[in-house]
Chains A and B, each alone.
Chain A
């Protein structure tokens, strides 16, 4: 990443309007302003309102025991050695088998075998510790690994672990702490609950595009693809409705991505250097292996389907093109790529790097769909926003906002960008925050401040996602630390289309002219650098 434009030395967050007073929550955006209040009474309802749900942390029973300790509690130790060895081999492979034999008593196996096994085990551990020193994340337990690489802030303690809007209808799936998934639909009152023996530690959910029923779930040691019949009235679909996709050495799965045309599913695991391309109907996969990085943590498919972002646990990420599946390597300076999102036309990628409080942008100039297109990417990433700490003085005193980016979401029209900033868990005056930017993609890329989204007092945002086809602008869904899922609508007139403004206010003037009129300052334009 040479040639990064550093001349943009100003703090982006300092231009934001201060966050609303404590006790108020952000209700919606209208007339270019985020409206705060205590209840939703100030706005009339527009059609179907997605339900605001509450999943209290206490009502969900997590699997608190780590998997290794629970095993001993349930195993019958009077099993024969063969049975135990076979189970150890199946559960945890060679090291499990060696461990099982090494811990046997003298009567069961000869002494030379136990000693040999414990030596081999020690050697294996030494080798893997060497490997682990190259890639420190490999020493984490798989649950910690999911927590580390998940897009959810503080995943292991969060009541809502994953959330996914259906790409075409008003339907969403929520994965909870107790490893169940619930599906809420605008058209039916039943909310099916999905449970499966293998559905543990859900790291991500995604609905299959161009399909009504298929939901992919990234689990602890496999991928599940649920087929939930939308016309069924059953509240508890059987586990026979789920397809199990697994590949040896490909667990835990921390990220999944469907291709926008619905034909392929990608999955990634931080311990597997190969990214899997699944043919879901055939349950077969093609590994796409590249040296370096030590695994794949996060995947994001561009909305036009031409490229895929794949970040690794090291300071390196790749951008694959999907025509012949070749990749560009992008080494970062500081840390690994934490998150990224694509503009709706697939030409621009925003991403953030761990350890830096900035948002970078990469531009891909070639028109999608034309041959020989894989040459038009920019040579360096440009910084488009600086998110370092800023203090605002509110009625309750100083509030400090800023920090590293946990996750980002760009609305499907490309006009709002929501960024979840990690706070400082030690400092109470610096909570995690959602900053929303106004963006424009054409003719030139621009970034303007919009505001901060606040939840109930004491609740921190954990996860955010935009509704894929909200008719009146954009709808941001936020999952909070207290188990609340709320929806914040942003009402605006799209620059391209004609959308009615719900509040009856005059349509929004073009952003550029407005920026000049009101003296609002652009945070970033392409022309400035």
Chain B
């Protein structure tokens, strides 16, 4: 694991001289003096500044690599509300990420400024002649400041966009290509993406500097005791910013910065998602923890790699399948198969369970609450607490109110139509309590949830209606923050479904292969439970897709690095489940009639055997 990261960082470092040379070459670009341009660029490459910059950039890449390793995840955290997203952004861990990236941005742009040279060379220079009486007076070089601030800005926006677009999510490839070809295929897209992102950053930064540029400038001037050169254009004016050479250099430096970081990220992803072949069994007891059945029981990346390996071996390797179907030497037990099958089935039934619970919650509330997905919980736990308490206090009055009324008039539950104000807004409001808040447990009671908003019947609610309306109107922002993002809960529910897809594919391939390859009949004993687990999951998934927003398609992201695979995992899971069922029914055909199962399942299975699903 750490070895792979080291290798990926090493490759990024090796690629640095190339990108740096390209940058140096392009930074001197001049259309009208091509020969001078080329000769200057070459002489620049041998300069000591470039060598020093390279050393510094290596350090930056190392740090980026370490951050990639620390922050990556194979199960994305999908924020279900705007407030959860805000929580993610303000999380201390994320703040460290942003801070460090801002600083590294400054370092990279410092290197870039040094390499470009010229007017970006130094922070303070002697003032122009006509200004100063004495030559000793130092003036601020605003270009220099502009450049370094741009680095910080870009570093921060890289980190911020990383959270918003889930850049730390590592998805696995649909096909297994070798690392070099994957890198080669992705490189043009990464270059284009970096250039476009840099363009956006430059635009945003110019706007930022136009409005707030005077603050850092004044601050630097006072702390370093330098003066502003009044003879030069200030950069926070329109004419100052319309310097095309400056903007070009800024954009080029931004592209350079993003490209080196994106390449590091890309290499990191390529290296850690590469298929790894785990041994199925080992004759040495100390290696048993390295074997496939054991690794399947671990968590996150290792489990994903093991499942991917299971998927590949079930499709491609006859000899490894034979190991799975083999019996243990003393005793004659199919330990390998049992362990693998049990682990896959428990994964699948966990998902079914999760789906059923979610449906129950939805059914009882009429609408979904944010999901208690672990990742979400983690990200929103600590620092949103301040925010939550504010909301809780406001909620509390509402809740107590509703419980009060609910107890008084239980018969009015169904008088929804007479409710004097739109119940949906309150519903939404009530239905979106942060799962991590201390209030969560008490709200979870379905009675409160169901009755709360509906009980404002004409008789009891009229008095307080205006009051509550006021109360809500003042909290438009809160409502906005607590509004559910459509289909986000569906995405969160299936966030780790890549594991389930592999489990389904691996299991069904093994079962299909067992028809010819399983000499001891070890698979047959598990066939009823495999089929019933899959059919249960099928039922749960079918029900889930009948919920609102579940089958709406997400917007496709156009870029390679913003991985949106997790947004469509539920569709992939549905397809994989059907394929797995068909694979088993096609292979076994009529023999499946002799498998024991409940009548309901048999009916469902018959649908598959007649190709009616």
**Which A residues contact B (CB, under 8 angstroms)?**
166, 168-169, 171, 187, 210-213, 230-231, 261-264, 277, 279-284, 286-289, 305, 322-326, 367, 369-371
Contacts and interface: CB of A to CB of B under 8 A. Distances in A.
Contact of B586 (A210, A279, A323, A324): A210
B288 to A, nearest CB: 23
B317 A369 contact: yes
Interface stretch (B8-16, B252-260, B575-583): B575-583
Contacts of B575: 211, 280-281
Interface string B281-323: 0000000000000000000000000000000000111110000
Contacts of A280: 575
A284 B572 CA distance: 11
Given A168-B586, A211-B582, A324 B177 contact: yes
A277 B174 contact: yes
Given A212-B582, A286-B185, 7 more contacts: A168-B611, A210-B583, A282-B565, A284-B174, A288-B185, A369-B316, A369-B318
B568 A169 contact: no
A182 B612 CA distance: 18
A212 B612 CA distance: 6
B545 interface: no
B611 A169 contact: yes
B175 interface: yes
Nearest to B277: A371
Interface residues of B, number: 34
B258 to A, nearest CB: 23
B505 A263 contact: yes
B94 to A, nearest CB: 27
A211 B578 contact: yes
B278 interface: no
B556 interface: yes
Contacts of B177: 286, 288, 324-325
Contacts, number: 93
Contacts of B425: none
A166 B181 CA distance: 35
A262 B174 contact: no
A286 B173 CA distance: 9
A166 B612 CA distance: 13
A230 B571 CA distance: 19
Nearest to B578: A211
A370 B319 CA distance: 7
21 contacts: A166-B611, A168-B582, A169-B611, A210-B579, A211-B578, A212-B582, A263-B579, A264-B174, A277-B175, A281-B571, A281-B574, A281-B575, A283-B568, A286-B174, A286-B185, A289-B185, A322-B175, A323-B316, A324-B176, A325-B175, A370-B318
A429 B90 CA distance: 81
B571 A324 contact: no
A322 B176 CA distance: 8
A277 B182 CA distance: 13
Contacts of B315: 261, 305
A263 B583 CA distance: 12
Contacts of B572: 279, 281-282
B318 to A, nearest CB: 4
B542 interface: no
A187 B443 CA distance: 52
Given A323-B316, A369-B318, A286 B175 contact: yes
Contact of B317 (A211, A283, A284, A371): A371
Nearest to A262: B579
Counting chain A CB atoms within 10 Å of each CB, the highest count among B317, B318, B575, B583 belongs to B575
B178 interface: yes
A230 B612 contact: yes
Counting chain B CB atoms within 10 Å of each CB, the highest count among A168, A211, A289 belongs to A211
A151 to B, nearest CB: 25
Interface in B315-338: 315-319
B104 to A, nearest CB: 31
B182 to A, nearest CB: 9
